[in-house]
Every structure is written in structure tokens, then in C-alpha cells.
């Protein structure tokens, strides 16, 4: 029973991570921190030996992420079009429900100190600044049509994927927004919908390289100063609430329905954390 609950949590986290990384403004890395597996992910892919050792965990998570990406490419995108306020508030609920866990994870070794406010404020300001840039809507690029193998395009796509993948695991930073900055977001989304493997394969290769490299760096930083790193992560996570605050938010019926969705999001975050703790307790 322990393993079933544990791997169910990893699969669900993968779905949310994959979904979040398809939606501009929503951070997959934030979801990893909220669900308490950020350390596990960054440590598991920080070296070849660790990757081999953690294959069952990584495979379960990857399957969930793949499912989340495929589902969100169509279904979640439609939800954002039809029920934008409610869907965004659900994600905000996930964030709010995970904040107590982030605090506990960051203070397992040391208690908070006044200096922690510095990385907290800097990281929160970065996320808010990026979200302001995104809302200016100046990074819109048309999808490129790819009907065959092109070495130059494949190398460019792999490089863009590597850069975006590093940001995908950093809480508060939207990997999709970075792809928009690089001009490949529409191309990737179109390829996912059409199953265009001339685009998907080089992008996937670049993404794997980026995630491994980024995870290695983050894992090293956490090992050196966990408290300060988690202070920065808390700033990134809280800043992302502003980043995904929906248009149309206010004293109206939509926001009223959205508040219910927000409560469901809080409940979902607490439930996923409970699944993980149940597995540990049984062990």
C-alpha cells in the first residue's frame, strides 16, 4: 500500500507539472515545491548514477508529465479560454495550499533569520517583473511549419528547449513564457497537437539536457545553503500568485465561482502532501 500511494503521488505530481509547463504564466517548478518533491527531482537527475538509481521514480513522474502535457495541450487550454478566472484561481489555490510545506522544508536544518528577506524579495520581484513583461504581450511569434528533418532548425530547437527546461524546474518562472521569449512556444504547442516528431524529438532531447544541468546546479545550491535557497524559492512561489492572477478578477460572479475552485486547489495540494506522508508513515 505504501508504494501504491507513493507512486500515485509521483504520477499526479507529474500530471500537474506537465500541465503547468504548457500554460504561460504557470510554473511547473512551483508545483514541484508545493507537492514536496522539488528536492527529490533535482537530486534524482543531478548525475548519471542517481538517474539510474531513481529510474522507477523518474519513469512514474515522466509518464505523469507526458500525460499532463498531452491533456493540457487541448483540454486545459480550452478551460483557460472558457473558464479563465476559475482555472487560474484553482492554480492559485494549489500554490497557497503548498506554502506551509515549503516553509517546513526550508527550515528543517535552521530557523529563519532576518537575512532571509533579501533572497525572498529579490526572487519575488523577478517573477512579478517577468509577469508584467508577459502581460505586455510583446512576445508573440507565429508557429513555424516543419514538415521534414532540418539539422539547423533541430539544433536551434534543442538549444531553446535546454534553456526553457532549466526554467521549468525553477519555481515561479514559467517555462512556457521563456519559450515565448525564445519564439518557439507556438511551434511546440502545434507539434504536440499534431504529433509532429520532427519538432518533438529535438525539443525533448534539449529539454532532458537542460533539466539535468539545471537540477545539478540547484541541488548543489541547496546542499550549500538550504535556508537561503528556500527563502528564494518562497519568494518565487508567492510572486507567482501575482503572475497568474487572472484578468476579470474582482467582485463579480466569476470570481465567486473561482473562489470555490481556489478552495479545491488548496484541498488538492493538502491531499497530495497527505498521500506522500501516508506512504512515509507506513514505511
pLDDT tens digits, residue range 166-179?
A: 777 776 666 776 77
**Banded model confidence at residue 279, pLDDT cuts 50, 70, 90:** very low
Q: Domain locations in the chain? A: 2-282
Residues with Cβ within 8 Å of 89's Cβ and at least 6 positions away in sequence, in order, are: 246, 249, 255, 258, 259, 261, 262, 265
Share the mean pLDDT of the chain.
77
Residues with Cβ within 8 Å of 90's Cβ and at least 6 positions away in sequence, in order, are: 258, 261, 262, 264, 265
Q: ∠28-31-35 over CA atoms, to 5°?
A: 150
Give the pLDDT confidence score for residue 118 in this predicted structure: 92
- pLDDT over threshold 90, residue 241: no
Residues with Cβ within 8 Å of 6's Cβ and at least 6 positions away in sequence, in order, are: 275, 276, 279
Residues with Cβ within 8 Å of 273's Cβ and at least 6 positions away in sequence, in order, are: 35, 36, 98, 101
- Is there a contact between 107 and 227 (Cβ–Cβ < 8 Å)? yes
Does this model's pTM top 0.75?
no
For 14-37, how does the pLDDT look when each residue is reduced to its tens digit (9 = 90+)? 888 888 777 665 677 777 877 778
Give the pLDDT confidence score for residue 282 in this predicted structure: 44
Give the pLDDT confidence score for residue 60 in this predicted structure: 92
The C-alpha atoms of residue 2 and residue 164 are separated, in whole angstroms, by 34
How many whole angstroms from its chain centre is CA 203?
17
Dihedral (C-alpha) 271, 28, 244, 88: value to the nearest 10 degrees?
A: -50
Q: What is the largest CA-CA distance in the chain?
A: 56
The C-alpha atoms of residue 230 and residue 88 are separated, in whole angstroms, by 24
- pLDDT over threshold 80, residue 63: yes
Measuring CA to CA, how many Å separate 275 from each of 8, 115, 133, 135, 262?
Answer: 8, 34, 37, 36, 20
**Banded model confidence at residue 280, pLDDT cuts 50, 70, 90:** very low
Which of 102-111, 195-204, 271-280 is the least confident region? 271-280
For 45-56, how does the pLDDT look when each residue is reduced to its tens digit (9 = 90+)? 877 788 888 899
Query: Which one, of 48, 45, 17, lies nearest residue 33 by Cα?
Result: 17
Give the pLDDT confidence score for residue 172 in this predicted structure: 60
Amino acid at each position: 500500500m505504501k508504494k501504491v500511494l507513493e507512486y500515485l503521488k509521483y504520477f499526479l505530481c507529474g500530471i500537474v507539472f506537465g500541465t503547468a509547463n504548457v500554460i504561460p504564466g504557470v510554473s511547473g517548478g512551483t508545483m514541484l515545491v508545493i507537492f514536496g518533491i522539488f528536492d527529490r527531482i533535482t537530486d534524482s537527475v543531478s548525475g548519471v548514477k542517481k538517474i539510474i538509481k531513481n529510474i522507477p521514480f523518474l519513469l512514474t513522474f515522466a509518464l505523469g508529465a507526458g500525460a499532463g502535457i498531452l491533456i493540457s495541450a487541448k483540454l486545459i487550454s480550452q478551460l483557460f479560454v472558457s473558464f479563465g478566472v476559475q482555472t487560474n484561481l484553482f492554480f492559485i489555490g494549489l500554490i497557497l495550499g503548498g506554502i506551509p510545506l515549503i516553509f517546513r522544508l526550508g527550515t528543517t536544518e535552521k530557523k529563519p533569520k532576518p537575512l532571509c528577506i533579501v533572497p525572498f524579495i529579490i526572487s519575488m520581484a523577478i517573477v512579478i517583473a517577468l509577469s508584467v513583461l508577459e502581460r505586455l504581450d510583446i512576445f508573440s511569434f507565429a508557429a513555424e511549419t516543419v514538415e521534414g528533418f532540418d539539422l539547423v532548425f533541430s539544433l536551434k530547437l534543442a538549444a531553446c528547449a535546454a534553456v526553457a527546461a532549466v526554467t521549468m524546474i525553477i519555481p515561479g518562472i514559467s517555462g512556457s513564457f521563456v519559450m515565448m521569449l525564445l519564439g518557439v512556444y507556438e511551434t511546440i504547442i502545434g507539434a504536440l497537437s499534431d504529433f509532429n516528431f520532427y519538432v518533438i524529438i529535438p525539443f525533448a532531447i534539449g529539454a532532458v539536457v537542460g533539466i539535468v544541468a539545471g537540477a545539478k546546479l540547484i541541488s548543489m545550491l541547496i546542499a550549500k545553503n538550504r535556508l537561503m535557497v528556500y527563502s528564494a524559492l518562497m519568494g518565487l512561489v508567492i510572486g507567482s500568485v501575482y503572475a497568474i492572477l487572472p484578468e476579470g478578477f474582482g467582485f463579480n460572479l466569476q470570481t465567486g465561482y473561482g473562489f470555490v475552485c481556489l478552495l479545491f486547489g488548496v484541498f488538492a495540494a493538502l491531499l497530495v502532501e497527505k498521500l506522500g506522508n501516508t506512504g512515509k508513515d507506513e514505511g
